[in-house]
Copies of this chain bind each other. A is one copy, B any other.
Amino acid sequence: MPTSTRPDLLLPADPGQRALARELYALVARLPIISPHGHVDPALLAEDQPFGDPAQLLIVPDHYLTRMLLSQGVPPSELGVPSRDGTPVETDGRRIWRRFAEHWHLFRGTPSRLWLEQTFTEVFGVDTRLSPATADEVYDALAAKLAEPDFRPRALFERFNIEVLATTESPLDDLGRHAKLAADGWGGPGGRVVTTFRPDNVVDLEFEDWSANVDRLGEITGEDTGTYAGYLAALRARRAAFIDAGATSSDHGHRTARTLDLGADAATLFDRARRGRAEPGDAEAFAAHMLLEFARMSLDDGLVMQLHPGAVRNHNRWLYARHGRDVGGDIPQVTEYVHALAPLLDAYGNDPRLRVVLYTLDEDTFTRELAPLAGGYAALLLGAPWWFLDSPEVLRRFRETVTETAGFYNTAGFVDDTRAFCSIPVRHDVARRIDAGFLARLVAEHRLPMDEAAETIVDLAYRLPKQVYKFGEGQQ
């Protein structure tokens, strides 16, 4: 779904490069969207109910927005973010919307502004510029659209031209919504909506209720998760169930990129943790070890591994205490890959049957670590800039820093990683535009002929993610 109102959005300002970029962008503007990783609630598409009011849809769940207002002293409760400590929370959509519009200038120069504006104009056809004065007008126009059947999730999914969308579930999820999707012809292997296996809540010993989660994992699978062997068997069983629900990849969100082969000690450490006697360092060591276990499972069942390291979760402790997880309180930290991944790479790094997609929150590793690793190991690919880095400037810097050592073909295509369903088309559009601009510069500087740039941009937008994440026929 290309941009109608700002055809040259994000294309290079130099007229020569812009003309080339336009040509390249035109090749991908209307290509279907491959969305191999994200956090859209599958219930949305399984149930296909109308969305809520504009504030509940676009502001309340978007921590990019609420953290920016928090940074200027507006508490999340005033924006409707649910509290878990009894703090009263604004529930009036219009009042939330007005408060947000008062602070709209804070978002100048941010991707959030771009995503929202493009969502207004391209998805909802609302061209009124948001401001404190127009807040009600925009709200009403959006609300009117949301009441129409064309704006239900499945209708939008089709209009967005999404070919495949992966959601993310924990092994404890019963995959009921995916079963419903499969029953409706939308899900299952090769379907339009698939799941992703994300086992953090049964792998991270410090996860809230880890041991209870492992108990539950045993109940679901009928395995004895009181033992390490049973625990592994249970994980294998859930992976099989996820694959039956269409999953082609797993996802692992650890504090660091550390990997480790604990060997026989893994069982000892697991037992200790199950008895509530985990020692300092056990959580990190066990998580590191489990990446090797999951790599071994991937060699068997073919799931692509995604690694998302480097977030300090709940850094803002006041925010966590009041509003819980995933509301904008996480902060990136220095992330080391070269030594951290060595045990995994020693074991399986040169095996092309394994496929590991690396993400980062630490831009400083692009040239020094990630590009040399991905350009030198068969198993590694680089994921798109992630989270705080999912923005026009960083998407451009990603290409500028990574391509010379890893090329284009050790990258895995754009990943929107979003909870915000309505922003999916604009996010992919932004990535396509930035790639068009980067390739246009290579052409303008006589570093790449136009015909190869044209083939490359289609690969980046469509073919590569489809192949890397094993969507479509002929995939192993």
A interface vs B, CB < 8 Å?
6, 8-17, 67-68, 70-73, 105-111, 113-114, 129, 312, 315-319, 328-329, 331-334, 336, 338-339, 342, 345-346, 349-350, 352, 361-364, 367-369, 371-378, 380, 388-389, 391-394, 399-401, 403-410, 441-442, 444-449, 452, 455-456
Q: By the criterion CB–CB under 8 Å, are B332 and A334 in contact? A: no
CA distance A129 to B449 in the complex (A): 10
CA distance A268 to B100 in the complex (A): 48
CA distance A333 to B339 in the complex (A): 8
List 13 contacting pairs A-B, 8 Å CB cutoff, sorted by A.
A9-B447, A10-B446, A72-B352, A72-B409, A108-B408, A110-B404, A113-B447, A316-B376, A317-B346, A332-B372, A362-B368, A364-B364, A393-B404
Given contacts A332-B369, A441-B13, contact A350 B318 (CB under 8 A): yes
CA distance A456 to B113 in the complex (A): 15
Q: By the criterion CB–CB under 8 Å, are B73 and A109 in contact? A: no
The complex is assembled from copies of this chain, and their number is 3
Q: By the criterion CB–CB under 8 Å, are A446 and B9 in contact? A: yes
Q: By the criterion CB–CB under 8 Å, are B446 and A376 in contact? A: no
Residues in chain B near residue A369, CB distance under 8 A: 331-333
Given contacts A15-B16, A331-B338, A393-B400, contact A316 B350 (CB under 8 A): yes
Q: By the criterion CB–CB under 8 Å, are B445 and A13 in contact? A: yes
Q: By the criterion CB–CB under 8 Å, are B448 and A109 in contact? A: yes
Residues in chain B near residue A389, CB distance under 8 A: 367
Look across to chain B and name the residue whose beta carbon is closest to the beta carbon of A456. B108
Given contacts A13-B17, A316-B350, contact A404 B391 (CB under 8 A): yes
19 extra interface residue pairs, beta carbon distance < 8 Å, beyond A70-B376, A315-B338, A391-B404 = A6-B446, A13-B17, A13-B441, A13-B444, A68-B407, A71-B406, A105-B455, A106-B409, A108-B442, A109-B407, A109-B408, A318-B346, A332-B368, A333-B369, A361-B368, A367-B394, A392-B447, A393-B401, A394-B404
**Min CB distance, A374 to chain B, in Å?**
6
**Min CB distance, A464 to chain B, in Å?**
12
**Min CB distance, A96 to chain B, in Å?**
19
Q: By the criterion CB–CB under 8 Å, are A388 and B367 in contact? A: yes
Residues in chain B near residue A377, CB distance under 8 A: 70-71, 316
Q: By the criterion CB–CB under 8 Å, are B67 and A107 in contact? A: no
Look across to chain B and name the residue whose beta carbon is closest to the beta carbon of A433. B445
**Min CB distance, A137 to chain B, in Å?**
18
Residues in chain B near residue A346, CB distance under 8 A: 317-318
Residues in chain B near residue A6, CB distance under 8 A: 446
Most buried by B among A17, A109, A329, A352: A109
Q: By the criterion CB–CB under 8 Å, are A371 and B388 in contact? A: yes
**Min CB distance, A405 to chain B, in Å?**
5
CA distance A442 to B107 in the complex (A): 13
Sort A-B residue pairs by CB-CB distance and give the 6 closest, nearest first: A73-B352, A13-B444, A391-B404, A109-B403, A6-B446, A9-B446
CA distance A312 to B368 in the complex (A): 11
Q: By the criterion CB–CB under 8 Å, are B410 and A376 in contact? A: no
CA distance A11 to B444 in the complex (A): 9
CA distance A380 to B70 in the complex (A): 11
Cross-interface CB contact of A368 among B364, B404, B447, cutoff 8 Å? B364
